[in-house]
Chain A
Amino acid sequence: MDINLDDIRNEVREWLAENWDDSLSLIEWRTKLADSGWGMPDWPVEYFGRDLPPSAVAVVQEEFAAIGAIGAMKSGPRMLAAVTILAHGNQAQKQRFLRRIITGEDAWCQLFSEPGSGSDLAGSTTRADKKGDKWIVNGQKVWNTSAHHADYGILVARTDWDEPKHTGLSYFLIDMHQPGVEVRQLKQMNGYASFNEVFFTDAEVPEDFLLGELGEGWPIAMTTLAYERRVAAGNREAGEDKGREGVIYDQYREESAIATEPYAWYPQRAGRSDLIIDRARETGSIEDAAIRQDIAKLLIKRQSMEWFIKRLAEVQKAGKARGPEGSVTKLTASEVARMSADLHTEITGIDAMLTGPDSPNDGIIAEVLVSVPAVSIAGGTDEIQKNIVAERLLDLPKEPRFDTGPFKDVKRN
């Protein structure tokens, strides 16, 4: 990469020295980030970025962190929408949506899974029918994270029932604040309610909210899913400074509280491997040779995954990635989470029967144990990731198909 990281560091440092101001409102500040491109350094220059490689993004993040400057809004499913719009949107769509995503003004959700089709996303039966200059949407989605406070959704819906399943789908951007959209929160096995059911009854989508071409829903959804897998390992703490003072920090904390309350368990679903060594020391199991081996295995896996992610980012930036490598990351993130949960149990012993304030770390460990199962399901199950690795990275034969021909004749739930 012919880029001088020291120059970038100096440039961002100077820019921050001139512009960072904790008396600005959060949106004022993030608008500056969008205008300057420093909020999303790896995005294109024309769309709120600076076209920098991953190595430089890390440098920019370090400089932000060093002075406690708040970054662009990236949490929740909004980035799934952002990267997909960036890749497939027209100019008007990019201008209209991307800025408000990274300033935090608009929240988004992903409306892909349905009761009858999760892994088999191309089997969607939510329909969109053209009436005049609008699309009318009817059907049901499920397990949609953040839908209860989203302003917009990315929606995969069927627009042609005579086509085979993969070519009859289209990709829409839908306004969640309308009478035809009803959102109901769903309680999860860990007690939280971060995902929802979403019902569409004659919901309306304006013509220019179709992303890409009609019938291109499947390939566009692949962009979303590839990104989702790749970042799966990054599902950890938001972790900006807690004790700082200033208007902007107050607003930031408020935003975090609203936007992250249902997601307080997210760090736990990744397994909290960061707590393992302290817990092993507290309980004395750090002396146990068998536990030490398991700790080492976990640390090796986690470190290898972090390095793999960095190496992959370089391959992608160089244009040499094959595409589905994110599945490797996602499978590893699942494995790290499972290994951590198992190790937490081993270390905790019989106390692992308890939950809430009675249990270690004020319930955090118990929450790990009941949250980890999400990781290998959300964003495409481990089994689906393995199919992808085998078929698209190792070129093994595809699964036999029983769902070809016009979708209306295909067997379904």
Chain B
Amino acid sequence: MAFSFTEEQEQFRDVLARFLRDKSPTTEIRKLMETDSGYDGDVWRQVCTDMGLAGIHLPEESGGAGYGPVELGIVMEEQGRALLCGPYLSSAVLAGLAIGAVASGEEQAARLVGIADGSVVATLAVTENQGLWHAADITTQAVPVDGGYQLTGRKSFVSDGQNADIIYIVAENGAGLSLFAVDADADGLAVEGLEGVDATRRIAHLTFTNCAAELVGAEGAFDLEAVFDQVLIAFAHEQLGGAQAMLDSALEYAKLRVQFGRVIGSFQALKHRFADLHVELELAKAAVYQAAQALEDGDDVRAYASMAKATASDIFLFAAKECIQFHGGIGFTWENDTHLWFKRAKSSEVFLGSPADHRERMLQAMGV
């Protein structure tokens, strides 16, 4: 297992960070929050075509760059830091990884090319009642009809459910769990957009009533937990990036703001809390980066994936709360940017399972 990033990976991160700083200033984020889709189509196209980010982890035959979870992690981390508005998590990560796990050859290429070049926005619908992905939680049924399938059931908290052109759904059809595809304009699909705490992201409930669907890959072939592990590792990186943004912002303010004739960053009470934050963030980075390395190496990552999600969620929220506190009154205003990340942290904390859920999942994966 490697314990450092390569020179190329570091350079990639730098280029990416510069691009995102340029494209996703908070003035822009605030404008996009008020729009229906929540993102800027032009910037999204640049993300996909100029930068090739949506396909970074997808195979070259499918229009991707053919890199692995470490590079995907870098992209997610930097996006999380910049709080980029866009369907990256939904399309590239959730749908991209799900398709990659079950489809192969031409079918895979046909489905991934549009995701990689940004011409298609896709998402993945798994969750029904729980944050964690459990086979037992999935009651949406697929029945074979005229050579195709019809879906009936309800999916909740679908990321970009209202933005997606195509929705991938994990459903039960007697043979186990399979992946299905439904077009956004299909009959029998009802999309109910939800108001989220995190206004930089769109979520929806989806109801399927005898809705025509195509099977993706083989029947009963969807390995729910394995895809979940990959998703968790990517998502944990995004939260790390958010945590870093909060620590940096708090530090910057603490070095400027003067009270009692000295900058507030000189008070030991705050210095020690900054030190605690730094330590926790460094540990979370180690946990998340090594989970990606382990996935890259093909190791069993079940425990590591949950470890990554639990620590990343915890540090992001911890950093966001401290950032508000270190800003004092202004930290509680709408005008100050801290709440944008705080709300992302709050929402990410429970999305895909809470830290407590994942600590338990980790123990079980370790046989404890």
Q: In the complex the two chains form, is A314's CB within 8 Å of B4's CB?
A: yes
Q: In the complex the two chains form, is B271's CB within 8 Å of A303's CB?
A: no
* Cβ-based interface call for A304 (8 A): yes
Q: Which of the four size classes fits the interface of chain A?
A: 35 or more
* Cβ-based interface call for B279 (8 A): yes
CB-CB under 8 A from B275, the residues of chain A are: 331, 385-387, 389-390, 394
* Cβ-based interface call for B103 (8 A): no
* Cβ-based interface call for A178 (8 A): no
CA of A50 to CA of B263, assembled, Å? 48
**Could you mark each residue 71-103 of chain B with 1 if its beta carbon is under 8 Å from any beta carbon of chain A, else 0?**
000000000000000000000000000000000
Which listed segment binds A: B17-25, B119-127, B146-154, B281-289? Answer: B281-289
CA of A7 to CA of B274, assembled, Å? 44
CA of A228 to CA of B278, assembled, Å? 20
**Could you mark each residue 268-300 of chain B with 1 if its beta carbon is under 8 Å from any beta carbon of chain A, else 0?**
101110111011001111110110000000000
Which listed segment binds A: B180-188, B333-341, B355-363? Answer: B355-363
**Could you mark each residue 294-323 of chain A with 1 if its beta carbon is under 8 Å from any beta carbon of chain B, else 0?**
011101110111011011011100100000
Q: In the complex the two chains form, is B360's CB within 8 Å of A296's CB?
A: yes
Partner among A295, A303, A396 whose Cβ is within 8 Å of the Cβ of B368: A295
* Cβ-based interface call for B310 (8 A): yes
CA of A292 to CA of B362, assembled, Å? 10
**Could you mark each residue 45-58 of chain B with 1 if its beta carbon is under 8 Å from any beta carbon of chain A, else 0?**
00000000000000
Q: In the complex the two chains form, is A55's CB within 8 Å of B272's CB?
A: no
Q: Which of the four size classes fits the interface of chain B?
A: 35 or more
CB-CB under 8 A from A383, the residues of chain B are: 272
Q: In the complex the two chains form, is A308's CB within 8 Å of B360's CB?
A: no
CA of A313 to CA of B368, assembled, Å? 30
CB-CB under 8 A from B290, the residues of chain A are: 307, 311
Q: In the complex the two chains form, is A389's CB within 8 Å of B359's CB?
A: no
Decide if the interface of chain B is mainly helix, strand, loop or mixed. Answer: helix
Q: Look across to chain A and name the residue whose beta carbon is closest to the beta carbon of B266.
A: A397
Known: A328-B279, A390-B272, A397-B265. A300 touches B310 (CB 8 A): yes
CA of A160 to CA of B290, assembled, Å? 49
Known: A277-B368, A383-B272. A296 touches B362 (CB 8 A): yes
* Cβ-based interface call for B251 (8 A): yes
Q: In the complex the two chains form, is A389's CB within 8 Å of B278's CB?
A: yes
Partner among B4, B263, B278, B363 whose Cβ is within 8 Å of the Cβ of A318: B4
Query: Which residues of B in the span 1-20 have a Cβ within 8 Å of any Cβ on A?
Result: 3-4
8 extra interface residue pairs, beta carbon distance < 8 Å, beyond A308-B285, A318-B4, A396-B266: A293-B356, A304-B307, A307-B3, A311-B3, A313-B3, A328-B279, A390-B278, A397-B266
Report, nearest first, the 7 A-B pairs whose CB atoms are least far apart: A296-B359, A390-B271, A389-B275, A397-B266, A386-B275, A304-B283, A307-B286
